[in-house]
Amino acid sequence: MTLDAIAREVNRVVSEEELREALAHPISPAEREDVSALIRWFTTRYATPEARLAYVRQAYARWRSVRRT
């Protein structure tokens, strides 16, 4: 998938019907565990608020530099 195709998919407008359908289904236990595992990893890797902010600032700067090219 190309960057343009990804951008189109990420930025597309979701219809009200699509949204209602997605919200009608509960989050599966597997998805809930995946999200919980990511949160545990992140809060362990970046244990303090300062470390989390530093990471976000770096990630944002990286994102901005990629978006300009």
Domain edges within the chain = 3-67
Residue whose tokens read 């362990």: 44
Largest CA distance in the chain: 41
Report the candidate in 6, 32, 67 with the shortest Cα–Cα distance to residue 40: 32
Point out the residues of the chain with pLDDT beneath 50. Answer: none
Cβ atoms of 47 and 55 closer than 8 Å: no
Report the predicted TM-score, pTM, of the whole model to 2 decimal places.
0.60
Measured CA to CA, the distance from residue 66 to residue 62 in angstroms comes to 6
